[in-house]
A and B are shown apart, each in its own frame.
Chain A
Amino acid sequence: MSYQNYVIAAYGVFFAVLLWDFVAPRIDLARQLRAARLRAARTQTRSANTEELSRAE
């Protein structure tokens, strides 16, 4: 194949960028779901603490 290195480089760039385009939203999605779980855990802890305080009174 003539110009083989150029063809490989071009297809390499193409697949590297598409790979980033595939991975980036997945990382973002996982981050959002993790943030939602942490938020829920914080809310649960806060409400549990409030209940304990009200019983002590």
Chain B
Amino acid sequence: MHPLVRWFHQLGSPPYFDRFAARWTPVAYIAGILVMAYGVWAALFQVPADYQQGDSFRILYIHVPAAWMSLFVFGLMAFYSAIALVWRIKLCEILAMACAPIGAAFTLITLATGSIWGKPMWGTWWDWDPRLTTELILLFLYLGVIGLYNAIEDRRSAARAAGLLAIVGVALLPVIRYSVVWWNSLHQGQTISLFGKSHMDASMLPPLFAMIVATKLWFIGSLLARARADNLRREAGKDWVLRLARGTEASR
């Protein structure tokens, strides 16, 4: 068997996944914090102020990566849920459900920072604009997935029901993405393109890319930590969990 395929099969084993997550969670967090430290420093002190928006544009460096993460995490959650529904892979159920609170956190950051940015630029904290409204619906969808997962006692049935909601909710992602194109929106159109020409000056881009990488690394750390906790909850009563708990006690 190819080593990569063998590793993938091994990862499906709860004790193996626990060891894997315990090893890589701190690595992802530390890498994320280091990249984020550079990104925040450059965003606040290095890049020049915008000629129109002044320093308020610096909110972009947390708002945009968080907004991208809110969409990316939902897509990933639906992807894991689909795999879990089709092939009944327990680890994918765990990973899908671990995505939900992280995605909700990034959506909350997007809405809150957008609102704070909107007040000085638009003169209002909130507007029922297509982009803002669809992003708010995304937050409700995340909360729905979390609520449904915690409302059903059997973990596997709960993950299947919540996963189905996540899959259906994917239909919202293109609506959020193209809302500024399809409707007359108060929210500005697309200014940053990863593959095409961006409307931002090149001197303003490095911190943005740093923050995009940092939020991804942070997400990996948080996903592994949350998945590890859920894995232990599901495996409660098994010998390996007991040995791990005793080991943790002994190491104190």
A residues 7-47 in Cβ contact with B at 8 Å: 7, 9-11, 13-14, 17-18, 20-22, 24-26, 28-29, 32-37, 39-40
Let me know if A6 and B246 touch, CB within 8 A: no
Size of interface on B: residues with Cβ below 8 Å to A:
40
A4 within 8 A of B: yes
Say which residue of B54, B59, B232, B249 sits within 8 Å of A29 (CB atoms): B232
A1 within 8 A of B: yes
Instruction: Please state if A1 and B101 are interface contacts (CB–CB under 8 Å).
Output: no
Interface of A is mostly: helix
The secondary-structure label for the interface of chain B is helix
Choose among A1, A25, A34, A39 the residue that contacts B237 (Cβ–Cβ < 8 A): A39
A33-B245 contact in complex given A3-B120, A6-B116, A10-B59, C-beta closer than 8 Å: yes
Q: Which range holds the interface residue count of chain A?
A: 20 to 34
Please state if A2 and B105 are interface contacts (CB–CB under 8 Å).
Answer: no
| Nearest Cβ on chain B to A56's Cβ, whole angstroms | 29
* Contacts A/B (CB < 8 Å), 18 sampled: A2-B49, A2-B54, A3-B55, A3-B120, A4-B55, A6-B59, A6-B117, A7-B55, A10-B113, A11-B59, A14-B109, A18-B105, A21-B105, A26-B225, A28-B229, A32-B236, A32-B241, A34-B245
